[in-house]
Every structure is written in structure tokens, then in C-alpha cells.
């Protein structure tokens, strides 16, 4: 069974540009989570999508946005890139909505570098 | 607000010795606690979780964790460390809004 897949693996952008990151959850999983892992800051929750709806959002500015498609894959968009957006962006999926009933399964991440 | 704290940035242990990676939590209501491991340039892998029941939870790769309600702790343990256990370990708590809140992470270094 395929795990959570993310693309691209690496992405280099310049300040002010836009970045789009993609995630395909494990087959049958309806929930997708996005986390930012910046150097020295641990994992910061960005967004949670379930059944195509945004269920929760972390403390990030509106230029971080996303969506979930009917096939449950998801896209994270970051507009007006800033240097501090450089980070590893991790996507995770879960079988049930929310996390109390089960663990998250993570992809290997997309490394975004903003120059 | 729900939170977890990992008081040690790094833990060093010799191969074959027992290891402990510490985690304390602050939650309202029943805590749902997790441990994940991250190898270099990889995503996170689930190790174990505590939802309810026995205070000693067994997980993957020989790891276990002890839930202590009075001390609000959920320390990760292994009786005999391997060099291959060297990685970044994260404790996490469900915050009752459907997402996990992660600690800052602890780097485990196991020396041969």
C-alpha cells in the first residue's frame, strides 16, 4: 500500500513568488494535515482538511492557503513568499477525521527554500 | 491550551544502555498522547500512542512509554539502545480540536 506522497521533493523560489505543494493521502484516508517544520521551531500546525472542507487552521497569515480535492488529495499554496517561509512542509493523513482515534501518517515532506 | 514540553534538546546514551526521552504535557480532559520519530531528511514515523488503559504502552522497534497522570508525563523508554535509534523524537498531544500539537523534539544520539 502506498504511503503519503508529496511533491515536489525540493522547491526553490525567490521572495514574492508563489509556491504550490501537493499531497496524496493513503488510499481510504479522508483527512489531510499540513505542518511546517522550520529550523529550530519544531512542527507547527498549518491546516487540516477533511472530506473537502477546511476544519482547522493554525496561526499562520492568510497567504498560506490550501484546498482538498474530491479524491482527498490536497494542495498547499504559499503566496508572497518570505525568507522565513523556508522550511520542510510535511503532509499527513489519517483514516478518521481528527486525531483522537488514530495516528497520523506522514509523507517525506517538501523542502521549500526561499532566496 | 494543550501543550507538550520536551525538556531536553539532546540525549546521549551508549549502545546497549537503557534510554529515556522525557515529555510532559498540559491538557484539559483526558490526554491522548503520541510519540513519533524522524530520521534525517524523512517524514515522521508513528511509534506509539496512549489513549486509555494500561499506563505502560508498547510500540514499534522495542520502544515503550509510561503514562504518569500525577506527574503529567509520558516518557519514552527502551531497555537497550541501538545506534540505529539515533534520530529526532517528538512527543505530541491531541488538542481536542482534531489536530496534534508537537513538542520541540529531542535528538537522541546513541554511541557505539
Dump pLDDT digits (tens) for B5-25: 999 999 999 999 999 999 999
What CA–CA distance (Å, rounded) separates A24 from A115?
27
Q: Do A103 and B49 touch (CB under 8 A)?
A: yes
Is residue A104 domain-resident? no
CATH of the domain at A61: 2.60.40.10
Q: Do B98 and A56 touch (CB under 8 A)?
A: yes
Is residue A33 domain-resident? yes
DSSP SS3 for A83? helix
Range of the domain at A48: 5-99
Nearest C-alpha in A relative to B103: A42
* Chain A residues with beta carbon closer than 8 angstroms to that of B97: 56
What CA–CA distance (Å, rounded) separates B74 from B33?
8
Q: Shortest CB distance from A99 goes to which of B41, B43, B98?
A: B98
What pLDDT shows up at residue A39? 85
Query: Given pLDDT bands bounded at 50, 70 and 90, which one contains residue B27?
Result: confident
**Contact of A103 with B59, CB cutoff 8 Å:** no
Number of other residues whose CB lies within 10 A of the CB of residue B61: 12
CA distance A41 to chain B (A): 7
Burial class (CB in 10 A: 0-12, 13-18, 19+), A27: exposed
Domains of chain B, with CATH numbers? Answer: 3-111 (2.60.40.10)
To probe the interface with B, which of A50, A104, A111 has the most B CB atoms within 10 Å? A104
What pLDDT shows up at residue B2? 83
Is residue A114 domain-resident? no
Is residue A105 domain-resident? no
pLDDT (tens, 9 = 90+) of chain A, 115 residues, equals 689 999 999 999 999 999 999 999 999 999 999 999 998 778 999 999 999 999 999 999 999 999 999 999 999 999 999 999 999 999 999 887 666 556 889 999 999 999 9
Mean pLDDT over the full length of chain B: 93
Is residue A106 domain-resident? no
Structural domain count of chain A: 1
DSSP letter string, B16-75: TS-EEE--EEE-SSS--EEEEEE-TTS-EEEEEEE-SS-SEEE-GGG-EEEEETTTTEEE
* Chain B residues with beta carbon closer than 8 angstroms to that of A104: 44, 46, 100
**Contact of A67 with A75, CB cutoff 8 Å:** yes
Peptide bond before B52: cis, by omega within 30 degrees of 0? no
* Chain A residues with beta carbon closer than 8 angstroms to that of B100: 33, 45, 99, 104
The sign of the dihedral angle between the CA atoms of B100, B74, B48, B83 is: positive
What CA–CA distance (Å, rounded) separates B84 from B98?
32
Q: Residues B41-61: what's their mean pLDDT?
A: 90
Amino acid at each position: 500500500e502506498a504511503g503519503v506522497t508529496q511533491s515536489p521533493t525540493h522547491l526553490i523560489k525567490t521572495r514574492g513568488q508563489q509556491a504550490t505543494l501537493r499531497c496524496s493521502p493513503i488510499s481510504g484516508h479522508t483527512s489531510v494535515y499540513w505542518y511546517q517544520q522550520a529550523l529550530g521551531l519544531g512542527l507547527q500546525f498549518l491546516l487540516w482538511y477533511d472530506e473537502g472542507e477546511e476544519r482547522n487552521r493554525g496561526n499562520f497569515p492568510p497567504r498560506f492557503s490550501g484546498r482538498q480535492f474530491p479524491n482527498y488529495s490536497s494542495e498547499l499554496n504559499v503566496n508572497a513568499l518570505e525568507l522565513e517561509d523556508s522550511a520542510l512542509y510535511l503532509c499527513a493523513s489519517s483514516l478518521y477525521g481528527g486525531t483522537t482515534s488514530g495516528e497520523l501518517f506522514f509523507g517525506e515532506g517538501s523542502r521549500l527554500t526561499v532566496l | 491550551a494543550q501543550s507538550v514540553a520536551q525538556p531536553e534538546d539532546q540525549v546521549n546514551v551508549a549502545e546497549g544502555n537503557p534510554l529515556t526521552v522525557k515529555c510532559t504535557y498540559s491538557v484539559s480532559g483526558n490526554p491522548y498522547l503520541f510519540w513519533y520519530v524522524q530520521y534525517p531528511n524523512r517524514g515522521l514515523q508513528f511509534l506509539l500512542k496512549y489513549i486509555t488503559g494500561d499506563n505502560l504502552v508498547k510500540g514499534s522497534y522495542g520502544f515503550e512509554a509510561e503514562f504518569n497522570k500525577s506527574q503529567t508525563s509520558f516518557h519514552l523508554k527502551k531497555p537497550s539502545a541501538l545506534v540505529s535509534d539515533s534520530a529526532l523524537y517528538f512527543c505530541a498531544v491531541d488538542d481536542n480540536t482534531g489536530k496534534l500539537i508537537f513538542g520541540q523534539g529531542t535528538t537522541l544520539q546513541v554511541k557505539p
